[in-house]
Amino acid sequence: MKATNIQDPEYFHKVVDCQYACPAHTPVPEYIRLIAAQRYTDAYMINWESNVFPGVLGRTCDRPCEPACRRGRIDEEPVAICRLKRVAADNKGDISDRMPIIPKKKNGKRIALIGGGPASLTVARDLMPLGYSVDLYDDQRAGGGFMRSQIPAFRLPEEVLNDEVNRILDMGVITHFNHYVDSLKTILDKKYDAVFIGSGAPRGRDLDLPGRQAADANVHIGIDWLSSVAFEHVESVGRKVIVLGGGNTAMDCCRTARRLGGDEVKVIVRSPFAEMKASPWEKEDAAHEGIPIMDNHVPQEFIVEDGRLVAMRFDRVKAVYDESGSRRLVSTGEEPVIVPCDDVLVAIGQENSFPWIERDVGVEFGKWDMPIVDETTFQSTNPTVFFGGDSAFGPQNVITAVAHGHQAAISIDLHCQGESVAKRPPPGVTLVSQKMGIHEWSYDSQVENDDRYQVPQAELEFTLSNRKLEVELGYDATTAFQEAQRCLNCDAQTVFSEKLCIECDACVDICPTDCLSIVVNSADEDQVRQTLKMPANNTEQDIYVSADLRTGRAMIKDENVCLHCGLCAERCPTAAWDMQKFYYSVSKAGQCG
Amino acid sequence: MTYIRPAFRHPDLPRNDLGFTRKDYEGAISTLCAGCGHDSISAAIVQACFELSIAPHKVAKLSGIGCSSKTPTYFLGNSHGFNSVHGRMPSVATGANLANRDLIYVGVSGDGDTASIGMGQFTHAVRRNLNMMYVVENNGCYGLTKGQDSATADIGSASKKGEPNHFEPIDLASIALQLGATFVARSFSGDREQLVPLIKAAISHRGFAFIDVISPCVTFNNNPKSTKGYEHVRDHLAATGTVDFVPFKQEISTEYEAGQSKEVTLHDGSVVHLHKADPELDIHSRRSALRLIKDYKAKDQILTGLLFMDEDSQDLHEILGTSKTPLRDLGVAELCPGQKVLDKLNESLR
C-alpha cells in the first residue's frame, strides 16, 4: 500500500470520530478539554462558532457523535458528549464581547430568509457579520422554528432557546414574525440578492383509517399538537391517550400528554421495539415516566361510539425478513387488540410541503415533489434561491440544519460577490506537537477507566405536574470533569516519521490495544489488514501506513481502537512517533480567500 | 504524564487454551530506557508463554542484577519471581528447581551478570544441565552504570564514549556449547519472529536451554561504531534457518522442502521444526555449531537461530535420581521416616 497522505486534512479528521460524524464537524475533544479545565466560556464559543445553538443542542441533539465515539468501541458506553456541551452552555460567562462585530455600513446586499429555524438563523449568523442586510420571515410569533414549536419545554427551557435565538436576531436581523409567506414570487419580486428557504418539513402525516373522520375532534397530528401546546393553544388532553408512532416526535408527544392530564398514555408502534426510530435515551425517558410502549401493533380502526372516539383497534403482527433483509409486518392472526382512549396523537412522520412556491419561478422540483438542490452548495435551479435544513432534503435534525446553514451562507456570499458557488473554502487545519517533556504532554493523556456518568433528573412528582419544568438537571462541575476525563483526546494524533524509526519495537510492545505493527507491506489492503498484530477487521476505520522503513518493512497503525494515550510516543527513543494536536474547523462564509 | 498503562485492551484479543489473553501474561510497565532491546525480549516471553498456554502460577522468574535482571518485573506479573544477588541467579535457580521440579524456570540475566561477576555460577548451572531456560540479554555494555564495555563487547567495538574495546570477547553461546548445554540458540531482540519460537522451544526443552539474545542498549551502545547496535546487528545478521514450534496435539500443516529441514520431537511430544538456511548445520553436533559460529564471525556475520539441541538429555533431577514428587510436597513422614528406617539403612552399610 502507498504511504498514507497525512497532508490531506481529511485523514486525521476521520480519526476524530465524533467530529467527523457531526454534520457541523464541531471540534469535540477540544471543547471537552476546556470543560474539564472549567473554561466553560471558551468551550461554549468553540461550539457557538461551529453549531450556533450549544445550549439547545446540549439538550436535544440527535448526537450522531456518540455512536461514533471511539470510547464506545473499547468501553461499554461512549463519552456523554451532548450533555457535556450543555455544561458549557449552562456555566458560560458573559459572551457579549466575543460576538462578531456587525458592520454599521452594510455591503448593499439584501437576503431573505424564509422560516426562522436553525438553518435560517445559521445563515443570518454567518452573513450578518459580513455586512449583509437580512430579512427573516416566519409564521410563528418568535424565532426558532421547530426548536420552539416541536421540542417540549421540559426538554428545552424557553430561556435557553431565547438566549441563543436572540443573540442572532440582535445582530440586526429584520424580522417579519406572524408572517406566513404564501408566495415565493412576491419575495422574489422584492429583488433580494439571494433567498434562503429554511421552511422545514411542516406537514405531519395523517392516518387514513375507518373512523378517522368521525373521530376527528380527538385525533391530532403530533407536530401540530406539540406546536399548539408550545404556543399555549392547548392546555389539556384526555385521560387515556394513544400515541401512534415510534420516532422522537412520538416520544415528545407521549411525555407532553403525560403532563397535560393524560395519566394512561400508551405509545403504540407498528415495528418491533428495537427497530423504533426514536433514540434509545428518549425511549428510556418515556419508560421512566411510566409510559408503556406496545410494539408490533398495526392500527386498523378508530372506534367511535355516539359520535365520540372511545378506542382504537389494532392487529398484532410480527416482523418477517426476506433474504435481502427487508422487513415485512405479517399478521399473527390473533384476536385484534382494542385499546380504549380519549385522544389519539398521530406521530408517524412528517413531510415537506411547498404549496407556496410557484412552479414558474425557476425552482425545479424532482422526485417526491422535492426541490432540486445541490448537495454541496444548497443552490436550487434558480441561482438566487437556496435551501437548507429539513426543506432541502427532508426531515433530519437541528445539527444537520445548522450544517446546511453554514454551507448555504458560503454559497450565498460567493453568489453575491459574483464568484462561483463551486469554489468551496478549504477547512482551517493546524497540527502541532503536544510534547512538553519526557513523560509530559500538554493534554491529560492518561486514560480513565470510569463508566459513563448518568445525568441527574428532577423528581417525577414535580416534572409530571409542570410541563415547563426541565427534567434533566445537567452535570455538576465535578461530574462534568469526571465525564470529560473519559474522552480519549482523539484529536491528539499519532504522527509518524519513518526516517527516525530504528525499528526497536518499543511502540509495538507498549501499545495497550495492539494498534501498531511493523510488517512487510503489500499492495492488497485486505491482506495487509490481516498481517497486523491484531487483524484490523473494522474496515470503516483507516489504517495508517508509513513509507518503507530501513528493513523494507512498514509501520502500520490500525486507527480503530487507539486510545491516544501517547505511550508509543513516550516509549519511542527517537521521537519517530509524536502526539500532535489536530484542529480542524470548517470554514465559514467570508473565509474563502 | 502517562507512565501508567491504560487498563483497556483490544476488544478482540485472542484467548489461549486456558482462557487467558496476552494481558494476563503482562507485568508492570517497564522503567528501562525507551527503545531498550530488553523490553522486546520481555514482550517475546509474554507472547511465548501466552501461546504455550502456560498457567502463570507455574512459572518462576529468576534474575540477578542489571538492566536485564530488572525485566522479570515487566513480564508475567502473575508468576513467582526471585531477584537474586549479582551473578548468583544460577544458585538460586538450582535450589528452587531441586525443591520444586514442577515449575517452569525462566532465568533472565545480562552479559555482566553472566559473563563477568556470574561466570562461575553460570558455567556450573550449564554443566549440571539444570532444567531451565536461561536468557542472556546481551548488549555488550554495563547499561546500569553508564555503559562501560562488558566482557561480551567485540574487539574494536566502541560504545557511546567512543573508545574501542581492546579485550577478547566471551562468546557465551560457544561456552555453553563447550560446557554441555543441551539447547543453545542465539537471537536478536529485534527479530520477534525468530525469538518467540526459540523461547517456546527452550521452555519446552528438558534440560539447560540457553539463549543468547543480542539486545541493543539504546542509550549507551547504539552508535555507528558499536557491533551491538540496531543497525550493525541488522546489517550483519545471518540465521541458521527458521524455527517453527509445533505444540503436541497440533497437526503439522506447513510443508517443508526435503533436505533442508529437520524435525525434532521433544519429551513432551511437541515438535521443533528447523528449516535450515545453511545445510552445513547439524543441530545435533556441538562441533558443527561451534565451527559455524566461528565461520560466520570470520565473515563479520552474527549467526542467529537454533544452534544445538539434545532433546534426549538427562536433566539434573534424572542424573541425581531425585524424588519424582517435588521436595516441597514431601511431608514429615517421608522426609523423617524414623529410627527404624535409619537403623535399617545403617545396617545395610555395615
Q: In chain A, which residues have their Cβ closer than 8 Å to the Cβ of B43? A: 505, 508-509
Answer whether B115's CB lies under 8 Å from B152's CB: yes
Under an 8 A CB cutoff, do B2 and A505 touch? no
Domains within chain B, CATH numbers bracketed? 22-319 (3.40.50.970)
pLDDT band of A490, cuts 50, 70, 90:
very high
Task: Out of B8, B30, B35, name the one closest to residue A563 (CB).
Answer: B8
Q: Which domain holds residue A120?
A: 106-202+352-416
Name the domain boundary from A348, A369, A399. A348
* Same structural domain, A323 and A233: yes
Backbone angles phi, psi at B88, to 5 degrees: -110, 10
* Same structural domain, A209 and A305: yes
Query: What ipTM does this complex have?
Result: 0.90
**Chains A, B: CB pairs < 8 Å:** 106
Work out the minimum CA distance from B46 to partner chain A, whole angstroms.
Answer: 10
Task: Identify the helix (H) or strand (E) that includes residue A196.
Answer: strand A194-197
Name the domain boundary from A348, A376, A403. A348
The number of distinct structural domains making up chain A is 2
Answer whether A161's CB lies under 8 Å from A147's CB: yes
pLDDT for residue B83 is more than 60: yes
- The mean predicted confidence, pLDDT, of chain B is 93
pLDDT band of B264, cuts 50, 70, 90:
confident
Query: What's the pTM value of the predicted model, to 2 decimals?
Result: 0.90
DSSP state of A4: P
Whether residue A455 is contained in a domain is answered as no
Residue B256: its pLDDT value, please? Answer: 55
Answer whether A406's CB lies under 8 Å from A215's CB: no
**Residue B5 at interface with chain A, using a CB cutoff of 8 Å:** yes
Q: Give the whole-angstrom CA distance, residue B125 versus residue B172.
A: 13
What residues form DSSP beta bridges with A331?
Answer: A317
Helix (H, G, I), strand (E, B) or coil at A475: coil
Task: Out of A74, A439, A508, name the one closest to residue B2 (CB).
Answer: A439
Work out the minimum CA distance from A41 to partner chain B, whole angstroms.
Answer: 27
Whether residue A234 is contained in a domain is answered as yes
pLDDT for residue A59 is more than 50: yes
Q: Which residues of A touch B (CB under 8 A)?
A: 73-75, 439-441, 445-447, 449, 502-506, 508-510, 512-515, 534-535, 537, 550-551, 561, 563, 565-567, 570-574
pLDDT for residue A523 is more than 60: yes
Q: Give the whole-angstrom CA distance, residue A148 versus residue A472.
A: 18
pLDDT digits (tens, 9 = 90+) for A104-162: 999 999 999 999 999 999 999 999 999 999 999 999 999 999 999 999 999 999 999 99
pLDDT for residue B252 is more than 80: no
Residue A303: its pLDDT value, please? Answer: 96
Q: Give the whole-angstrom CA distance, residue A387 versus residue A382.
A: 11
Task: Identify the helix (H) or strand (E) that includes residue A118.
Answer: helix A118-127
Residue A104: its pLDDT value, please? Answer: 94
Whether residue A307 is contained in a domain is answered as yes
Centre a 10 Å sphere on the Cβ of residue B196 and count the other Cβ atoms it contains: 21
Whether residue A563 is contained in a domain is answered as no
Under an 8 A CB cutoff, do A567 and B5 touch? yes
Q: Give the whole-angstrom CA distance, residue A356 versus residue B348.
A: 120
Q: Give the whole-angstrom CA distance, residue B278 versus residue B283.
A: 11
pLDDT for residue B77 is more than 80: yes
Q: In chain A, which residues have their Cβ closer than 8 Å to the Cβ of B9? A: 512-514
For an interface test with A, give the residue of B3, B4, B5, B8 to mutate (most A CBs within 10 A).
Answer: B8
Whether residue A409 is contained in a domain is answered as yes
Maximum Cα–Cα distance for chain A, whole Å? 89
pLDDT digits (tens, 9 = 90+) for A431-469: 999 999 888 899 999 999 999 999 999 999 899 999 999
Q: Alpha carbon of A135 to those of A104, A171, A389, B248: distances in Å?
A: 16, 12, 18, 82
Residue A325: its pLDDT value, please? Answer: 85
* Same structural domain, A252 and A326: yes
Dump the DSSP string for A124-174.
HHHHGGGT-EEEEE-SSSSS-THHHHTS-TTTS-HHHHHHHHHHHHTTT-E
For an interface test with B, give the residue of A571, A572, A577, A579 to mutate (most B CBs within 10 A).
Answer: A571
Q: In chain A, which residues have their Cβ closer than 8 Å to the Cβ of B218? A: 502, 504, 573
* Same structural domain, A157 and A212: no
Residue B151: its pLDDT value, please? Answer: 97
C-alpha cell at A12: 486525521
A434, closest residue in chain B (CA to CA): B1
The arithmetic mean of pLDDT across residues B122-130, rounded, is: 97
* Same structural domain, A267 and A321: yes
Work out the minimum CA distance from B236 to partner chain A, whole angstroms.
Answer: 12
Q: In A324-345, which positions are buried (b, 16+ CB within 10 angstroms) versus exposed (e)?
A: eeeeebeeeeeeebebebbbbb
Under an 8 A CB cutoff, do B3 and A550 touch? no
- The mean predicted confidence, pLDDT, of chain A is 95
pLDDT for residue A507 is more than 70: yes
pLDDT band of B271, cuts 50, 70, 90:
confident
Q: Give the whole-angstrom CA distance, residue A61 versus residue A28.
A: 14
Work out the minimum CA distance from A561 to partner chain B, whole angstroms.
Answer: 7
CATH of the domain at A315: 3.50.50.60
Centre a 10 Å sphere on the Cβ of residue A155 and count the other Cβ atoms it contains: 18
Whether residue A66 is contained in a domain is answered as no
* Same structural domain, A119 and A223: no
pLDDT digits (tens, 9 = 90+) for A286-329: 999 999 999 999 999 999 999 999 999 999 999 999 898 888 99
Dump the DSSP string for A223-283.
HHHHHHHHTTS-----SEEEEE--SHHHHHHHHHHHHTT-SEEEEE-SS-GGG-SS-HHHH
* Same structural domain, A141 and A225: no
Q: In chain A, which residues have their Cβ closer than 8 Å to the Cβ of B74? A: none
pLDDT for residue B1 is more than 50: no
**Residue B179 at interface with chain A, using a CB cutoff of 8 Å:** no
Under an 8 A CB cutoff, do A74 and B190 touch? no
Answer whether A508's CB lies under 8 Å from A516's CB: yes
Whether residue A181 is contained in a domain is answered as yes
pLDDT for residue A489 is more than 90: yes
- Where helices occur in chain B by DSSP H, the ranges are 37-51, 67-70, 89-99, 111-115, 119-127, 172-178, 192-204, 230-235, 286-298, 316-320, 332-335, 339-349
Work out the minimum CA distance from B232 to partner chain A, whole angstroms.
Answer: 11
Work out the minimum CA distance from A71 to partner chain B, whole angstroms.
Answer: 10
pLDDT digits (tens, 9 = 90+) for A20-54: 999 999 999 999 999 999 999 999 999 999 999 99
Whether residue A432 is contained in a domain is answered as no
* Same structural domain, A110 and A190: yes
For an interface test with B, give the residue of A77, A440, A501, A509 to mutate (most B CBs within 10 A).
Answer: A509
Q: Give the whole-angstrom CA distance, residue A261 versus residue A272.
A: 28
Work out the minimum CA distance from B6 to partner chain A, whole angstroms.
Answer: 6
Residue B243: its pLDDT value, please? Answer: 85
Name the domain boundary from A327, A348, A369. A348
The arithmetic mean of pLDDT across residues A171-199, rounded, is: 96
Q: In chain B, which residues have their Cβ closer than 8 Å to the Cβ of A566? A: 2
* Same structural domain, A225 and A304: yes
* Same structural domain, A397 and A330: no
> Higher confidence at residue A203 or residue A80?
A80
* Same structural domain, A221 and A338: yes
pLDDT > 70 in chain A, percent: 100
* Same structural domain, A322 and A245: yes
pLDDT digits (tens, 9 = 90+) for B288-347: 999 999 999 999 999 999 999 999 999 999 999 999 999 989 999 988 999 999 999 999
Under an 8 A CB cutoff, do A509 and B39 touch? yes
Answer whether A84's CB lies under 8 Å from A34's CB: no
Task: Out of B11, B189, B190, name the one closest to residue A74 (CB).
Answer: B11
Residue B257: its pLDDT value, please? Answer: 58
Work out the minimum CA distance from A555 to partner chain B, whole angstroms.
Answer: 14
